[in-house]
Structure 1
Amino acid sequence: MTGELPEPVNRNELRVSHAEREAVVERLSKAAAEGRLDLAELDARLDRALTARTYADLAPLTADLPSEVLPAPKQSLVVKGGLSGATRDGYWQVPAKIVAYGGTGGVKLDFTQVDCHLPEIELEVHGDTGGVTVVIPDGWVAETSEVEPGLGGLKDKVTPARLPGTPLIRVSGNGGLGGVVVRHPSNWERRKLRRSQQR
């Protein structure tokens, strides 16, 4: 027995879901925040989006808006301890991702004087034989559950209280032989910091 195949339905005639309406509402609101739509246009399009039944109703509402721009890939900073060690301190530009190799001499990353407005910083550590030490200001917090301690171990001495507007440092990697330490400034480092701020 042979039956006739159903006629394919045009996509524009298909019904849209609540989630699809909400996605368009969000895109329109963002476009207005970017200055692409004035308030009158926004109100009119929002009304049409919320009452849309089919794709044909929704499509024209964002047709003249640019597609979402994908975020740029994160810039990476690689710090290698080598034989004599490496230190990043004072004021330095903090990227979204940092990779630190302790090498033989060790690596110290000191964030206490940086001006950083990133919501998160990815820090990949490899303690090697020299170890990696990370010093962060009071109010910053670090997530270290992704670090394999290795033979050198992991010491997380950071207080859990995070101040608003400060970045979260997500630490991953391994301690190697030298280990990884994440902490706030020592008393000596605090005195040194105060002296530098008074100059």
Structure 2
Amino acid sequence: MTAESAGTPARRRPLRASDADRDATVELLREAAAEGRLDLDELDERLEAALTAKTVAELGPLTEDLVPDGPPGGALVAADPLVLKGGVHGVSRVGGWNVPSKIVARGGMGGVKLDFTRTRVRLAEVEVEVYGEMAGVTVVVPEGWAVDSDGVDPGLGGMRNKVTGERRPGTPLIRLVGAGGAAGVTARHPGPWERRKLRKQLGS
């Protein structure tokens, strides 16, 4: 006779946290800090706890005072992806923009450019779903970052991954999935003009 059949409820094991659970928690914490609901010391403390959490139950208390009505048990729902469509005129994300755990980029007729060189990303991994379409998608990452492009079907335009060098500790992995389409997808480091512009902006 089992414990359940004898009227004693079975003991439930804690649900292990996935990378998506941890990433969603980190995103909520960063948004709360940007809104002034967490100071920098609190943010660093909670981020460390989120990134090392083993179970969903450990993640819940980190955001329960930041989300009005979170789901029961502390389970988190991943934030909606950032969707960028090149359309006719093209679109880009440059500077210190907020990076979510998932991005969908569709090149359209104008193209899409994602420049991560001035972003602060505390996520271990960012998934970028790319569709080159007619004008292509360009992903620019700093030196020391890594890009995994194995999940991209090159199509007619191809998948050109020009990112080189070893991945530095503490930097995110940019994981590309999708299709190159007619114009293709390119991942690279900043070019000479972009580096000069970056140094000028940083005052060096």
> TM exceeds 0.5?
yes
Choose from 106, 109, 112 the match for 1:104.
Answer: 109
Q: CA separation in 1, counterparts of 2:165 and 2:5?
A: 52
Structure 1 pair 11–122 and aligned structure 2 pair: CA distance change class (3 A): same
Q: Percent identity?
A: 47
Q: Give 1 or 2 for the bigger CA radius of gyration.
A: 1
> Which 4+ residue blocks in structure 1 deviate beyond 6 angstroms?
none
Q: How many residues align?
A: 156
Give the AA of the match of 1:90: G
Question: Do 2:143 and 2:165's aligned partners in 1 also have CA atoms closer than 8 Å?
Answer: no
Aligned to 1:123: 128
Residue 10 in structure 1 maps to residue 3 in structure 2: yes
Q: Deviations over 1:115-141 (max 9, x none)?
A: 111111110000000000000011111
Q: SS of the counterpart of 2:196?
A: helix
Choose from 165, 173, 183 the match for 2:178.
Answer: 173
Aligned to 1:44: none
Aligned to 1:3: none
Q: CA separation in 2, counterparts of 1:132 and 1:12?
A: 58
Aligned to 2:44: none
* TM-score computed with the length of structure 1 as normaliser: 0.68
* TM-score computed with the length of structure 2 as normaliser: 0.66
Give the AA of the match of 2:197: K
Deviation at 1:68, TM superposition (A): 5.0
Gaps spanning 5+ residues in structure 2: where?
Answer: 17-53, 63-71
Deviation at 1:171, TM superposition (A): 0.5
Gaps spanning 5+ residues in structure 1: where?
Answer: 1-7, 35-66
Q: Deviations over 1:122-170 (max 9, x none)?
A: 1000000000000001111111100000100010011151111111111
Q: CA separation in 1, counterparts of 2:195 and 2:127?
A: 25
